[in-house]
Structures are given as structure tokens and as C-alpha cells.
Amino acid sequence: GENVGLHLPTLSVQEGDNSIINCAYSNSASDYFIWYKQESGKGPQFIIDIRSNMDKRQGQRVTVLLNKTVKHLSLQIAATQPGDSAVYFCAENILWGLSEGAQKLVFGQGTRLTINP
């Protein structure tokens, strides 16, 4: 079935440390994955994405790793800052429905990241 989940619902880290948020997916046909950040009272905000032909992709202070063998995705945040406090969602893109080109994002439940001063 389609299931995108997270190993940990909450993660607490010290300011300045690195954070690692994990995500498991079950659809082996998924070929595109996205990490979103959602702050309280706001809509999800795109952080970084990765296609299935890649194992790793780096952005500014963030790195996404994809292990297709075990269907695992992770988001690494370097030197975590107070502004990184939020709920982080992974999502996988799959074909859906009848319309040509139709796709949908299947979201995980989210991990709440809190930063300790």
C-alpha cells in the first residue's frame, strides 16, 4: 500500500547540533520525494527535493539522503538554529487518478523538531 511514515514523531536537539529526521516509504515505484517544513499556523514550505536517480542532494544547511534499497529517506539539518523549530514532513510523488499527468503527494505524519538553547 501507500504509506509514508516517520520513525520518530518528535525530535529535540541542542542549538548548534545537527538534526536528522527519518522517513520510510513503501511505494517502490515512487520516483520523487520532497521535504516540507511547516511552522505553526502556516502552510508547508518546500525545503528540498530529490529524484530517485540520486542518492544525495545538498542545499543550504540541509541534505537529503535517499536509500532506495530499504525505501528510506532522511533530512539532515546542519548547525540547527531556533528558526528550524517546526514540523517536518516527507512526501512522495506517485501517479494517481485518471487525468493524464495526474500525480499526488503522499505525506507522512510529520516530525516535530524542537531546539533546546
What residues make contact with another protein under the rule CB under 8 A? 4, 32, 34, 36, 41-46, 49, 89, 91, 93, 95-105, 107-110
Could you tell me whether strands 111-116 and 10-14 are parallel, antiparallel, or unpaired per DSSP bridges?
parallel
CB count, 10 Å around CB of 101? 6
- Cell numbers of 33, please? 520525494
Pick between residue 77 and residue 91 the one whose CB is nearest to another protein. Answer: 91
Question: Phi first, then psi: what are they for 84, rounded to 5°?
Answer: -85, -10
CB 61 → another protein: shortest distance, Å? 18
CB 79 → another protein: shortest distance, Å? 24
